[in-house]
Amino acid sequence: MWRLEARPAPSRRARWLAPLAALALTIVLGALLFAALGQPPGRALAVFFLRPLQNGYGVGEWLLKATPLMLCGLGLALGFRANVWNIGAEGQLILGAVAAGGLAIAFEGSDSALLLPAMMVAGILGGMAWAAIPALLRTSCQTNEILTSLMLAYVAPLLLAWLVNGPWRDPDGFNFPQSIQFGEAALLTPLFDGTRLTAIFPLALGLALAAWLFQHHSYLGFQMNVAGHSAAAARYAGFSADRTVWMALLIGGGCAGLAGFAEVAGPLGQLLPNVSPGYGFAAIVVAFVGRLHPVGVVLASLLMSLLYLGGEAAQMELDLPAAITGLFQGALLFALLACDTFVNYRLRWRRQS
Amino acid sequence: MLEPAPQTSPPRLELRGVTKHYPGVIANNNVDLIVYPGEIHAVLGENGAGKSTLMKVIYGLVHPDRGEIRWNGQPVRIASPAVARRLGIGMVFQHFALFESLTVAENIALALTEAPPAALLAARIRELSERYGLPLTPEQPVYQLSVGERQRVEIVRCLLQSPRLLILDEPTSVLTPQAVDHLFTTLRQLAAEGVSLLYISHKLEEIRTLCHGATVLRGGRVTGHCLPSEESADSLARLMIGDELPACRLIPHPVGRTPRLVLDGLNQPADGPFGTDLQDIQLTIHSGEIVGVAGASGNGQRELLAALSGEAPTPSLEMVRLLDEPIGHLDPAARRARGMAFVPEERLGRGAVPALSLADNALLTAARRGLVRRGLVRRSRVLRYTCDIIERFRVKCHGATAPARSLSGGNLQKFIVGREIAQEPQVMVVAQPTWGVDVSSAALVRERLMELRNRGVALLVISEDLDELFEISDRIVVLAGGRLSPARSATATDAAEIGRWMGGGFCNELGYVAA
C-alpha cells in the first residue's frame, strides 16, 4: 500500500522540483482541456505557448506584461515571507496609476523632463498610501490585513471609475470613460523600435536583485522574517513587530504603485477604467509559484505573462473564450499546491500490517 | 502508605506489542503495558524514550503500526480522541492544546461532548478547581494565563469528563509543594474510586510516593517494570538513563562580590486584567551568585521577567539598574548590548522561532557578536557560531540548518541556554531552565549555569522546581502575589519555609518589610 508520510525535514530538492512538476502537470491538464474542447492538443499548445513568441514584437509584449507581475510579485513575496498577507496589490497598483496619471493630467502640455520621474514617484507613493491603510489598521487596531487589503482592492477600481467618468474624463472623448491621452513628456519611450517594452523591465530585474539581497543577506530582512514568524520571539529579541508590518506593506504597495505607473505611462498612455487585467491578484500566484524567492518570482512572472498572451492567441486563432487564461492560471496554482505536498511528505510503499 | 493495587478484575487497559515507526526512528518498539482499575501507574523515561507517542496511541491521536489494545479485557481500536473519551480516557497534555482567544470556560466547553449551559459549567469549574486546589477564573481568556495556570485548565477539563483512565503528562511541574500534596490527595482519591491513572513525570521522588507500579522506557523499548515504593530515586534514575545522575553541588568561592543588577522599588503594572502587579520589588544580584526566585506561576513571574528583559516598559527608569546605570527605558536589544542575557520560559515561539534554522535562531539574539556587518548578515560566521554552540552544549540535532522545532525540548533548551551563555553576559536571567527537559539535559544546563556563576556572572533563576533552586542557588527569594520575600541563603532555609512563603506567608511572618 502506498502511504504518504511526513519527511523528517522539508526536502530542498522537492522545493525546487515542485514548480517544474507543476508546470508539466499544467501542460498535461491544458492538453486534456484542449482535447475536450475539440482542438488537437499539440497544435493548441503550440498556439498557446509558442505563437506569442514568434517575433521581436511578441517577445517585447511578453516581457512588457511580465513587468507589472514581477513588480507586484516581488513586493508581495517579501511581505508573505514576513507573514504579512497583502492581498490588495491590485488596489495599490490602481492607486499608483491614479497618482501618476493624475500628475500627467494636471501638467497636460508640459514638456518638462521632470514630469516622468515625478509621475514615477507619485505612482510609488500612491501605492504606498493605499497599503498604509491596512498597515495602520493592523498596528493600531489589530485588524487582519488580509481582509482590509482585499476590501481596499475593490474600493480602488471604484475610485478610478469615478475619476474617469467624472472629473478626469476627456472632454473630447465622445463621453467614453477615459482620460486624455498623455503628452510625450509623460510617456516612457520604448527600449527597442517595434516593441512597446520600456525601461521599467530592466528596473524590475534590478529590484529583484535588491529584493534578494534584502531577504537573504540583510539583518533587517532577517528581523522581518522573525517578526513574521513569531511576534513573541521578535519582542524577546528586541525587534519591532509593527515595523515589520509597515515595511512589508509599504514595500508591497510601493512596488505595485510602480507597476501602476509603468502601465499608464507605458502601453496605456492614459487612464482607463481597467488599467489592470488583474495583475495584482495574479501576482499572488506569481509569488507562490516563485517560492517567495526573487529569482523564482522573475521566472514565475515570465510564465504567467506567457499564459496571458497564450490566452489571447487562443482566443484569436482557436476561437476559444477569454476564460482560458484564468483556467490555465488556476490549473498552475492547483498543480503547484498539489506538488508542494511532496516538500513536506514523501510516498512510501509499505505492506499492510 | 500505598494501597496495594487491586489486581483481581481484568486490566482496565492492556497494550501488547505496540509498535510505531516514524521516518527514521522507532518511537515505540513492541511495548507492553498493563494498568489495573484503581492503579496509579508510572511511565518513566527520558525525553525521546517514546512516552509521549505511547500516550498518544492510547488517546487515539496516533495509530500504531502493530500491536493490540484491550480495554476492560475487550480488544478495541481507538481511532480518535473522541473514541478514547467515549471509552472514558482523559488526557492532560504536557503542551497545552488551548485556544488563546477563548476563555477558560469556553475552552473547557469545547472539549465536552455535551456542554452544560455556561453558568452551570462555570460553577462546576469553580467547584472542581477549589476542591482540587487548582484556582481558576472561568471568565479569564487563556492568552493571559501562565504555563502553570494553563495546566490547571487541562486538569480541570479532564476531571469534568469523569474519566475511567486519566493520563497525566508531567502534571506537577508547575505546582507549589502544597498544591502537589493537594493534587496527590485528589489522585489517590480518584484511584480509590476505581479510576486508573497513567502518570508521566521526571520527578522520581513523586513517582516513589504516588505510584503503585511503573513501566520504564528507554529508546522506545520497555526496559523494566518495578514497584516504585521499593526503589530509591537513584535506582529509578538508573533504570531510566542507565547510569547515576550527574552530581551537581555549588562550591563556595572566594571571589569578591559586587552588585551587578539592582531592582530598586520596582513597581510593574500587571500585563493584563488578570495579571499580577509587582509591588515594591527590592533585590540585588551580585557577581558570582545565583539568586533563585521560587513561587508558582501567575504570582508576577511573567511581569518580573518582562521588566528585566525590557519586553515591557518600566514605569521609572531608575527601578532597574545594571552596573549602577539605570536601564528601565531600554529595549531587550539595548539591554543585551550592555551585557544582559535572557532565557525565556517558552522555548518555541519566544526563545526560538520554530520554523527557522538553528543558525537563524542563533542570529536572533547574537547579532552583536560580529555576525552582522553594515546591515548584512555574515553567513559563515553565523554557521560557525551555531556549530560551536551545538558542540559545546551537546545539542542533538541535524546540524545548524535543522529547524528549531525538530529538536526535543531538552535539546532546544540546551541550544538556547548555550546561545545566551556564548554571548558572555555579565547578568543572566533564566526562567524555568529545566521545565519539561529530560534528566541528563537538565543536569547539563544546571552545570553550565553554575560554571557561569563560578566565572563571576550574576544569575537570576526563576523556577517552580524547588529541588532545582536548592541545588543551584546561593540565595533564594519567593515571589508570591506580586511581592518579593527577603532573600535567604539556600543553606539557611528549607523547603518547608519556602513552601510556606510561596503561599504569601512571609508577609505575616516578618511583617512586610522591603528586603
Which triple of cell numbers denotes residue A300? 514565475
Q: What residue in B sits closest to A234 (Cα-Cα)? A: B350
| Sign of the C-alpha dihedral computed for residues B68, B69, B74 and B78 taken in this order | negative
Residue B232 has a CB neighbour count (10 Å cut-off) of 12
Q: What residue in A sits closest to B372 (Cα-Cα)? A: A219
On chain B, the residues whose CB falls within 8 A of the CB of A218 are 375-377
Residue B11 has a CB neighbour count (10 Å cut-off) of 18
Give the residue from B47, B63, B46, B57 showing the smallest Cα distance to B14. B57
Q: Would an 8 Å CB–CB cutoff place A43 in contact with chain B?
A: no
* pLDDT for the residue B511: 54
Chains A, B: CB pairs < 8 Å: 77
Q: What residue in B sits closest to A228 (Cα-Cα)? A: B353
Question: Please, which residues bridge with residue B430 across strands?
Answer: B343, B461
Backbone φ and ψ for B433, nearest 5 degrees, come out as -60, -30
Q: Would an 8 Å CB–CB cutoff place B360 in contact with chain A?
A: yes
- Of A13-17, A239-243, B98-102, B508-512, which range is least confident? B508-512
On chain B, the residues whose CB falls within 8 A of the CB of A242 are none
* pLDDT for the residue B148: 67
Question: Please, which residues bridge with residue B21 across strands?
Answer: B26
Q: Would an 8 Å CB–CB cutoff place B351 in contact with chain A?
A: yes
CA distance A40 to chain B (A): 45
Q: What residue in B sits closest to A8 (Cα-Cα)? A: B23
More confident residue, A91 or B483: A91
Q: What residue in B sits closest to A352 (Cα-Cα)? A: B65
CATH tag, A40-319: 1.10.3470
B330: left (phi over 0), alpha (psi -120 to 50) or beta: beta
Q: Would an 8 Å CB–CB cutoff place A162 in contact with chain B?
A: no
Which triple of cell numbers denotes residue A17? 522540483
CA distance B23 to chain A (A): 6
What is the rounded CA–CA span in Å between residue A264 and residue A164? 13
CB B283 within 8 A of CB B484: yes
Q: Which residues of chain B have pLDDT under 50?
A: 1-5, 244-248, 512-515
What is the rounded CA–CA span in Å between residue B249 and residue A11? 45
Helix (H) or strand (E) holding B309: helix B301-309
Q: Would an 8 Å CB–CB cutoff place B349 in contact with chain A?
A: yes
Give the residue from A111, A88, A69, A91 showing the smallest Cα distance to A262. A69
Residues 122 to 161 of A: which have CB under 8 A from any B CB?
none
CA distance A2 to chain B (A): 14
Q: Above pLDDT 90, what percent of chain A?
A: 59
Taking an 8 Å cut-off on Cβ atoms, the answer to whether B356 and A229 are in contact is: yes
**Rounded to a whole number, what is the largest CA-CA distance in chain A?**
81
More confident residue, B300 or A156: A156
Taking an 8 Å cut-off on Cβ atoms, the answer to whether A236 and B350 are in contact is: yes
Q: Would an 8 Å CB–CB cutoff place A237 in contact with chain B?
A: yes
Taking an 8 Å cut-off on Cβ atoms, the answer to whether B353 and A218 are in contact is: no
Taking an 8 Å cut-off on Cβ atoms, the answer to whether B360 and A9 are in contact is: no
Taking an 8 Å cut-off on Cβ atoms, the answer to whether B336 and A238 are in contact is: yes
What is the rounded CA–CA span in Å between residue B170 and residue B54? 15
Three-class secondary structure of residue B69 per DSSP: strand
Taking an 8 Å cut-off on Cβ atoms, the answer to whether A238 and B331 are in contact is: yes
What is the rounded CA–CA span in Å between residue B515 and residue B512? 9
Is the predicted ipTM greater than 0.90, yes or no?
no
DSSP letter for each residue of A48-85: HHTGGGSSHHHHHHHHHHHHHHHHHHHHHHHHHHTT--
**Which among A15, A213, A236 is the top mutation candidate for probing chain B, defined by the most B β-carbons within 10 Å of its own β-carbon?**
A236
pLDDT (average), residues A230-245: 88
Give the residue from A219, A178, A208 showing the smallest Cα distance to A294. A208
* pLDDT for the residue B515: 39
Which triple of cell numbers denotes residue A37? 474542447
Which triple of cell numbers denotes residue A244? 515589520
pLDDT at A290 over 80: yes
**Which among B19, B353, B357 is the top mutation candidate for probing chain A, defined by the most A β-carbons within 10 Å of its own β-carbon?**
B353
Taking an 8 Å cut-off on Cβ atoms, the answer to whether A226 and B356 are in contact is: yes
On chain B, the residues whose CB falls within 8 A of the CB of A5 are 23
Q: What residue in A sits closest to B21 (Cα-Cα)? A: A5
On chain B, the residues whose CB falls within 8 A of the CB of A210 are none
* pLDDT for the residue B175: 65
For residue B55, give every residue at least 6 positions away whose Cβ sits within 8 Å of its Cβ, in sequence order, or none. B43, B91, B167, B169, B198, B200
CA distance A22 to chain B (A): 25
**pTM higher than the cut 0.80:** no
Taking an 8 Å cut-off on Cβ atoms, the answer to whether B349 and A7 are in contact is: no
pLDDT at A88 over 50: yes
Give the residue from A278, A288, A283, A277 showing the smallest Cα distance to A333. A288
Taking an 8 Å cut-off on Cβ atoms, the answer to whether B333 and A222 are in contact is: no
* pLDDT for the residue A78: 94
Residues 378 to 417 of B: which have CB under 8 A from any A CB?
379, 398, 402-403, 406
pLDDT at A295 over 80: yes
* pLDDT for the residue B256: 64
Q: What residue in A sits closest to B402 (Cα-Cα)? A: A9
Q: Would an 8 Å CB–CB cutoff place A220 in contact with chain B?
A: yes
On chain A, the residues whose CB falls within 8 A of the CB of B334 are 238
Q: What residue in B sits closest to A351 (Cα-Cα)? A: B65
Taking an 8 Å cut-off on Cβ atoms, the answer to whether A229 and B367 are in contact is: no
Contacts 24+ apart (CB under 8 A), A197-202: A197/A60, A197/A61, A197/A63, A197/A64, A198/A64, A198/A67, A198/A262, A198/A265, A198/A266, A200/A67, A200/A71, A200/A258, A200/A262, A200/A266, A201/A63, A201/A64, A201/A66, A201/A67
* pLDDT for the residue B514: 40
What is the rounded CA–CA span in Å between residue B327 and residue B504? 29
Taking an 8 Å cut-off on Cβ atoms, the answer to whether B365 and A5 are in contact is: no
